[in-house]
Amino acid sequence: MDQALTPGTAAAAPPWRLTRMLAAAIGIDVVAWVWFLIGLARPTPPMAGWGLLVFAVPVAAAASWRAGGAGRTFWRYVSAGMVGLGLASAAAARDYFSGEQPGQMIGGFTAVLYVGSLMLMLLGLLRIPGAQRTRIEWTRFGLDVATMVVTVVVFSWHLVLPRWESWTDGSAAGTASVVVVATAAIIGMLAFVKVSFTGTGLIDRRALYILALTGAVGAVGGALAPLLAERPYLNTGHVLLPTTSLLVCLAADRQLRATRAGRPAPRPLPRRPSVLPYTAVLATGALLLSCVDGRTADLMAVALGSVTVTLLVAARQMVALRDNVRLLDDLDVRQGELAYQAGHDGLTGLANRTVLIDAITAMLAEGRSGLSVALIDLDDFKAINDDLGHTVGDALLVAVGERIAAGLPPGAVLARLGGDEYAVLLPDGCRSTLTATAASLRRPLPAAGHELVVEASIGLAEARPGDTASELLRRADVAMYEAKGQGKGRQVVFDDRMDQRTAEQSRLTAELRNAVGTDQLYLLYQPIVAMPGGELAGVEALARWTHPSRGPVSPAVFIPAAERTGSIVPVGAWILEQACRQAAHWRATMGDAAPRTVSVNVSARQLREDGFAEEVAAILSRTGLPPAALTVEVTETAVFDGGAALEELKNIAGLGVKIALDDFGTGHSSLGLLRTCPADVLKVDKSFVDDVTADGPQTVVAAALISICDGMRLRAVAEGVETAEQAAKLQQLGYRYAQGYYYARPLPAEDIAGYRPATPDVLSFPARAPK
């Protein structure tokens, strides 16, 4: 894109200057037309007509030069073109007064100046950046342009060729005049095609249409030149150039006003089909019928039938295009559902972290007093999941969210931050609300047929002057962990001494670094299977840590701590190398039965490290694992904002490594992300799988995701499959790969060789044919 076409690169002229130029252009044009009309009635001195051009050209050139703004480069081309037209008019005057060319004719040098000036304007037009298009869209654009060009050629052949000799008098000068007229017509046509098919970038659309009229004025006026053969003292240029100058001034004024009003802004092209090609078909058909009118009835019938069939085919295509627009609108609805998921927790329907941070930021900006944030974390929730299963655990999370929401005052915001952690934004800082919340959670909660009582650790942080949302959440997080450290089931208000206790996290991460390379830290591998039979397709490597004194440390504890302190970089490198080494061993010992790929989770922190892609390449080289056998899994959040993380991911993909978007649908889900991220695999989050058999919103989203994957040639993997019904429904929707407890729990490396499908209760549903 031309840098001169970006906003703010040039200051536009003060509006009063262009207003004065526009007034001058109007005055010159009026005088030119009055003098021309007088010349039609009686002979007038030719010098007066040519002299007006001396004033018309500089005004238009100055106006377009000063239009500036977002499209400075384009308007400079227009200004240069006007100067060229002025020089061409001066050359035409010389041809006339020297007697070298009679009447309306011009010499070869003058024609070159005219055509060169028009080509300058065309070059500026072509440099306007249009809408981004795919290869198919460019092909369609080329066909549309070809349709218009053929139409113009047909009409020119029919209307111009029979009259060529009479218009040109068979002379080179006459031919040069016709070439100038034809060039002006082509410029006008291309301007309209540019606006209709590719957009106008940052140039005001109406301003460009006005400029397109200059080509039409030049073409029409030039074509009428032979009518003045009996009045050699007149020339169509006496009125064409002042009128062209006026149109340029009008366009420049329109551009300036649009810039002052905050426009133009690039906007997507409308989805409705363009009517210009169909107009061309209709016009050509009408021309054909006019040509055969009065001839044999048989020829007329054939012509009429051909035109009718063409129109019917065009109508059918219009219907198909409108149906495509409807389908695109439906896709927008699906994307809207995904956008809703980006701001809400898929399981509970509560706001997520992004919405919460926005709400905190807004209230802090309002300067509200008494603002506070509480973090609520359920105690021993992992035990409920392990003992009763994820179905009960998820039902409990929903019930907890409803119980907390029922006791909140107006204006409070409740969000689920992930796992069993909730956050509450309290506009008035009511500590009594938290006490009541904790008490309500101790009452039995219904969860998938169970009555459960839970305890919660609650940390509260009160807003201070100069706080940010992140700082307020951090202090609430510290207070919450302090409550857990005090024995759980407690409420703690943050004080500054608690920051000292964060040293414990530093010790934890230091111990994690020491655990690397020992038996404390090890990997388990969860099979990724092909449906419906459950055959092994790949594995996902999962890190586990058994501390010598702490005992098992949950990945939900040590992975976030490692990310916060940066130790995830060396730990992640160890995990990646161990997984690659194990995968290479499987390939050597198991042959074709080995997992085709091993998936390794990579954090945003790792992706932001310089040279991470080179480290991946080095690990592959050391372990002997082919790049295609490694899949790097990243979350949407890690690459949503682009930048260094996305570039590093592209470098990894360039090695031949596959890329998987993990937990898709729970973060900043966007169809745009699927275009920018070099993804090969889409891992559909468990939250969409849980209720997939209920034919509710989750089923709609799951169906939309598989359709998107089919269309974009991505492999979809459903996560968290726990029941035969879920597996069968997913297969019916078109899913071919899955992982979850229904097929296998995470296994030690030595058990992968003995993995066998064990899904005898797979239900039979009609499977949708894959695309």
How would you write 111-122 as a 3-class SS string?
HHHHHHHHHHHH
And the tokens for 314?
């065009």
Which residues are bridge partners to 510 per DSSP?
none
Q: Which amino acid appears at position 274 of this protein?
A: S
What is the Cα–Cα distance from 736 to 531, expressed in whole angstroms? 5
A 10 A CB-CB count for 731 gives 21
Report DSSP letters for 612-626, one per residue: HHHHHHHHHHHHT--
pLDDT category, 667, cuts 50, 70, 90? low
pLDDT category, 156, cuts 50, 70, 90? low
pLDDT category, 579, cuts 50, 70, 90? very high
What is the Cα–Cα distance from 716 to 722, expressed in whole angstroms? 17
Report the pLDDT averaged over residues 606-623: 91
Q: Which amino acid appears at position 200 of this protein?
A: T
Instruction: Name which residue leads in pLDDT, 130 or 600.
Output: 600
Question: What is the reported pLDDT for 525?
Answer: 95
The C-alpha angle 548, 550, 553, rounded to 5 degrees, equals: 100
- Tell me the per-residue pLDDT of 515-547, one tens digit each, with 9 for 90 and over: 887 888 999 999 999 998 889 999 999 999 998
Distances in Å between the Cα of 167 and the Cα atoms of 12, 234, 594 are 44, 17, 82
The C-alpha angle 456, 459, 463, rounded to 5 degrees, equals: 150
Residue 8 has pLDDT above 90, yes or no: no
Q: Which amino acid appears at position 233 of this protein?
A: Y
User: Residue 152 burial by CB count (10 A; 0-12/13-18/19+): exposed, middle or buried?
Assistant: middle
Which residues are bridge partners to 451 per DSSP?
446
Distance, C-alpha 508 to centroid of its chain: 41
Question: What is the reported pLDDT for 524?
Answer: 95
Question: What is the reported pLDDT for 523?
Answer: 94
Highest mean pLDDT, choosing among 43-52, 582-591, 600-609: 582-591
Counting residues of the chain whose pLDDT is more than 70, the rounded percentage is: 77
Residues 574 and 516: beta-carbon distance below 8 Å: yes
Strands of 135-246 (E only): list them: none
Integer-rounded Cα radius of gyration of the chain: 37
- Tell me the per-residue pLDDT of 320-372, one tens digit each, with 9 for 90 and over: 777 777 887 777 777 777 777 778 888 888 998 889 999 999 989 888 778 89
Q: Which 8-state DSSP code applies to residue 13?
A: P
Residues 744 and 707: beta-carbon distance below 8 Å: no
What is the Cα–Cα distance from 130 to 196, expressed in whole angstroms? 10
Residue 688 has pLDDT above 80, yes or no: yes
Report the pLDDT averaged over residues 157-170: 54
Highest mean pLDDT, choosing among 103-112, 440-449, 642-651: 440-449
Least Cα distance to 206 among 250, 162, 142, 167 occurs for: 250
Distance, C-alpha 618 to centroid of its chain: 34
Question: What is the reported pLDDT for 5?
Answer: 37
Q: What is the pTM of this model?
A: 0.41
Report the pLDDT averaged over residues 89-105: 70
Distances in Å between the Cα of 144 and the Cα atoms of 154, 275, 277, 543 are 16, 10, 6, 57
The mean of the pLDDT values for the chain is: 78
Q: Which 8-state DSSP code applies to residue 197?
A: I
Residues 6+ apart with CB under 8 A from 208: 125, 128, 191, 194, 195, 200, 251
Residues 6+ apart with CB under 8 A from 652: 612, 613, 616, 632, 659
Residues 95 and 107: beta-carbon distance below 8 Å: yes
